[in-house]
Amino acid sequence: QSVCGWSRTAPQSYGVPPMALAIPDALRDMDDSEIADISEDENMAHDAIRLMRWPPHGKPVCPHCACDASYYLASRKRWKCKGCDHQFTVTSGTWMAGTKLRHSTLLIIIWSFAKGEVGTRAVDLQRMLGCEYKTAMVWLGKLRSSAVVSAPVSRDWKGYWQRGRVH
C-alpha cells in the first residue's frame, strides 16, 4: 500500500477518468489587456490553468490514482504522485494533454471561449492565433466537451492577477 491507500500492483485501468476544466466567471470579465499581461508570463499562465484544473485552491490531484499527495518537480514543471509515483502535468488528463502549445496560448483559447456569450467561433480563434481552421475547430470542440463555465474558486481572480503574484 502507498501513501494514498493505492496499491502499486493495481491494474492501470483503475485510474481516474479525465477531469473537467473549471472556468471561473472572473476570467470571463477580464479584458484584452489583462489577459495579455497574464499571457506574457508563462508562469502566470501555468498558475491560471492550475487553478482552473484543480479548484478551488489549485492543489494537484493525480489523474492516475486520484491521490492528492504529490510534490512538484520545478525543473520539469510537473508533479510526482507520492501514492503511485506517476508523473503528471497541469494538462494531464484534459483536452490539453499532449499538446505542444505554450500555457499562455492555451489560456488565450480558454479565455476566448469563456468571454463569448454564445461561445467562440473557430474562425475568430484562427485569426487570433494564426493557426489552421481545422486546428481551431479541434481545440474548441475539445474545450466545449470538457468545460464547466461557472466554477467556484478560492480567490478573487482579477485582483490576484493584477497584483502579479505567482505561487
Tell me the three state secondary structure of residue 38.
helix
Dihedral angle sign, alpha carbons of residues 53, 59, 64, 70: positive
Question: Which pLDDT band holds residue 160 (cuts at 50, 70, 90)?
Answer: very low
Question: Please, is 100 exposed, middle or buried when counting C-beta atoms within 10 Å of its C-beta (0-12, 13-18, 19+)?
Answer: exposed
Residue 46: CB atoms within 10 Å = 20
Considering only residues 116 and 137, tell me which one the structure prediction assigns the higher pLDDT.
137
Amino acid, res. 111: W
What is the C-alpha R_g of the chain? 16
pLDDT given at position 117? 59
Question: Which pLDDT band holds residue 72 (cuts at 50, 70, 90)?
Answer: very high
Report yes or no on whether pTM surpasses 0.85: no
pLDDT given at position 119? 66
Q: State pLDDT tens for residues 9-34.
A: 333 333 334 456 667 777 777 888 88
pLDDT given at position 143? 79
Average pLDDT, the chain: 75
Which helix H or strand E contains 109, and what residues bound it?
helix 103-115
